[in-house]
Structure 1
Amino acid sequence: MSALLWISSPLVGAAIGYVTNTLAVTMLFRPHEPKRFLFFTAHGLIPKRQGDLAKKIGELVGQHLVGHEDLIRAFDAIDLEAALGRLLDKALEQKLGELRAMPLIGSFLSPERIGGLRDGLVKAVLEHREELLAEIEKALEEKLDVSSVVQQKVQEFSTRELEAMILSVARSELRAIEIWGAILGAVIGLLQAVLATTLLA
């Protein structure tokens, strides 16, 4: 009897602890949709609170992680001269094909004139770089709400996508919770065996 108690109590405790914690982890995500069981409705915690989660993530990102100043700094780090050059080359190439087809205008569009026009436009924009950045920042402040954008994106995730995203980050930690449930359950079972043996001695 004593040997059976010392073996069975930790095993039963470990099984109960593991199953309980596994069920708790599972119920974070499932059921994805509300399910009616007799007198109560079951719904995974994260799917049920997805709206609140989206709002909090949006506030965190918008207020503490990414602001308009960060976007401007990122824009300022761009090689604006090269970017404008490529943009103008593409725009001019499209229009010049049409203009060269016109007899009077086409004869004036030499490569030198086109290159000079392109370089002049780039230089003119770069001379007003700070004003351009200031206008962009003003437009971002007026039109872009980072918190709302992030909130909407998170809200648009399906519950399965949200589950997969969270598991990709926290799978090992959630697995550890299940394992610790078994360990703590075994310890409690062992203590119960000690207590039972002591009382029956």
Structure 2
Amino acid sequence: MDGRYLFIPVISGLIGWFTNFLVLKFLFWPRVPYTIPIINFKIQGVFSRRKADIAKAVSQVVAEELMSKDKLLDSIDKEKAAVDLVEFTETKVEDIVDKRLSLIVPSSIKKRISSIVTNIINDDLNTSVREGIDKLLKEGKDQIDVGEMIENQILLLDIEEVEDMTFRIAKKEFKFIEIFGGVLGVIIGIFQLIVLRLI
């Protein structure tokens, strides 16, 4: 067999690698529509052309499977929020009593008033705050659209940012796809050699 035939696996491997390399690039390139002269055929990267569809699909998956309204609300520590709010209110009330009464009421009486007000807050505000937080979260659940928020954020991203982010995240996987294309090309080239040998 002519030694030149041995280049078949090499050439096939290069074609396989280059084909996969181009496919990955064409996910984003060209970023703006480009019309090929003469044949008048318009091309544009898949992500660039279908950014709105992809944003909608990703937002739906995230909103329904990963970050639903219920999961978001469940992640909020309502008890801690209530305790923090009551403590904040107590501190503010103590500061207000101290500032407003400091000039006209003796210190001992002022402390007594502050203690009475704090006790009232502890008795009544604890329950009210918890009820208020539950109500706010329930109303917020009806108003928050997680999917729409994510979709809008994706649409705000520049396609170049999306490309950089995608290639950073999937760098190893994309490199594997390129190499696999080369390896597959070599294997196909070897099969071609075998067929030519048999002929």
Place the TM-score, normalised by the shorter chain, in its bin: 0.7 to 0.9
> Equivalent residue for 2:161?
161
Q: Which has the higher contact order (CA 8 A, sep 6+)?
A: 1
How many correspondences in the alignment? 197
Cα separation, 1, equivalents of 2:51 and 2:104: 65
Q: Measured at CA, do residues 80 and 115 of structure 1 come closer, stay the same or move farther in structure 2, by a change above 3 Å? A: farther
Are 2:142 and 1:139 equivalent residues in the alignment? no
Q: Measured at CA, do residues 52 and 82 of structure 1 come closer, stay the same or move farther in structure 2, by a change above 3 Å? A: same
Deviations, residues 78-134 of structure 1 (Å, cap 9, x unaligned): 523542155336755875686358x44797983554455346435533324653343
> Equivalent residue for 2:13?
14
Deviations, residues 171-193 of structure 1 (Å, cap 9, x unaligned): 21111111111011111111112
What 5-or-longer segments of structure 1 have no aligned partner?
none
Cα separation, 1, equivalents of 2:79 and 2:167: 35
Q: Which amino acid aligns with 2:25?
A: T
What 5-or-longer segments of structure 2 have no aligned partner?
none
Q: Measured at CA, do residues 32 and 89 of structure 1 come closer, stay the same or move farther in structure 2, by a change above 3 Å? A: farther
Percent sequence identity is 21
TM-score, normalised relative to structure 2: 0.81
> Equivalent residue for 2:33?
34
Q: Measured at CA, do residues 42 and 91 of structure 1 come closer, stay the same or move farther in structure 2, by a change above 3 Å? A: farther
Q: Measured at CA, do residues 71 and 186 of structure 1 come closer, stay the same or move farther in structure 2, by a change above 3 Å? A: same
TM-score, normalised relative to structure 1: 0.81
CA contact (8 A) 1:100 1:109 kept: no
Cα separation, 1, equivalents of 2:41 and 2:109: 78
Report deviation, 1:50. Answer: 1.1
